[in-house]
Amino acid sequence: MGIFENPVVSNSLVIAAWAVFWHVWHGVGITLGYHRLLTHKSLAVPKWLEYYICSGAYLALMGAPIVWVGVHRQHHQKSDTPLDPHSPRQGVAHALYKWMFYTDRVQSNEELQKQAHDLMQDPFYRKLGCDHGAYHAKLNLAVCIAFRVLLFFVFGWQCVVGSLIGTFTIFWSTQFVNAFCHLPSLGYRTYRTTEDSRNVWWVGILAVGEGWHNNHHAIPKSARHGLEWWEFDFTYVCIWVLEKLGLATKVHIPSKELLEKKKEKATGKGQIKMPAAVTHAAEAAQKAAEIAREAVHEAAEAAFLAAEAAGKSAREAADAAMHAAREAAEQADKAYREAALAAGKTANEAAEAANKAAREALETAEIAIAQLVPAKETVRG
């Protein structure tokens, strides 16, 4: 017992134990609370338990539930397009942390509240914040600081240090899902989806089950993300326990038939093989769409800068340009998706349809940029 009597060793062990506890507690708050419970309605629990679980996410600097849910639902609807709030196609650094500073460029407050319309009915969640303004972030930070002060007086400084470490590790572990689980160079894909989602085992461990991201995108409502025996999903273990205790109901688990059907789509079994010419046409369409996306990104960037520089007088013009840019992005993405799924068409038809849609997207983006010229010139004047 001599080594454990050393205060440095004993304090280090206590801090490590607290760090693991807070990593898991905050992690379950994020993955079970904000993600599977609030965002995807993968299960139902009593309201008091919902608030308790979600407090783990809020106290890990995850921000207001309405904002988190609204952003994540748009991520699923616009995955790996210019309207995805945190796609690594715009850079790993963007997906890891930069996206947090300009989410309002790809999602208006109106769209945010529309995405989280169900949570907008809850007065408590509304008070925590329901827009992309700084209020909800400042409130979240203040509450988190107050919580650590309380921990200090109740459990001591070791608990506070462990809390800070656990919060740091789980905060970045969940960001790893955004950044690394959409990188084609990492992990593997079990199911065919329309974006770049991947299953990355080490993210699955760090983020208490969230790293099985391709599984999640294939069946978003599933309460279980680790769908193979080797895909350990700690969050689902917690859900299983809650269900056995009678505290979780309406737990959504996909049937074996649905999983096999999804796998068949991924492997191509039972599907008509796409001719090589159509595949080449789809690849060409993807490149054309990428050019359109770059133009759209420039339009959105210019809209934001014009609105910031010109102030409220130019806000309406900038909003109109942003709306046009969003339409362009959607058209560009539609061009790629239609071409990629054009197995029933001839190669020429696929290429022509894709190129036409891409050209339309470029024209829309150019119009969006042109709309900004008067606003920017007014600022200079």
Predicted model pTM: 0.72
DSSP 8-state code for residue 78: T
pLDDT at 104: 87
Q: Which long-range contacts (CB under 8 A, 24 or more apart) does 98-103 make?
A: 99/178, 102/304, 103/71, 103/132
The answer to whether residue 299 scores a pLDDT higher than 90 is no
Mean pLDDT, rounded, for 100-127: 93
The answer to whether residue 195 scores a pLDDT higher than 80 is yes
Question: Which residues have CB under 8 Å from 313's CB, separation 6+?
Answer: none
Question: Which residues have CB under 8 Å from 333's CB, separation 6+?
Answer: 78, 81, 82, 289, 293
Question: Which residues have CB under 8 Å from 355's CB, separation 6+?
Answer: 284, 285, 288
Confidence of residue 281 (pLDDT cuts 50, 70, 90): low
pLDDT at 10: 87
pLDDT at 309: 59
Q: What is the tens place of the pLDDT at every residue in 138-168?
A: 999 999 999 999 999 999 999 999 999 999 9
Confidence of residue 269 (pLDDT cuts 50, 70, 90): very low
Q: Which region among 28-42, 48-62, 343-357 has the lowest average model confidence (pLDDT)?
A: 343-357
pLDDT at 252: 96
Task: Tell me which of 294 and 131 has the higher pLDDT.
Answer: 131
Give the chain's length: 381
The answer to whether residue 225 scores a pLDDT higher than 70 is yes
Q: How far is CA 363 from the centre of its chain?
A: 29
Percent of the chain exceeding pLDDT 70 equals 68
Domain ranges of the chain: 3-262, 276-380
Q: What is the tens place of the pLDDT at every residue in 306-335?
A: 655 566 555 565 566 556 656 666 666 666
The answer to whether residue 110 scores a pLDDT higher than 50 is yes
The answer to whether residue 373 scores a pLDDT higher than 50 is no
Tell me the pLDDT of the chain averaged across its residues: 82
Q: What is the tens place of the pLDDT at every residue in 48-79?
A: 999 999 999 999 999 999 999 999 999 999 99
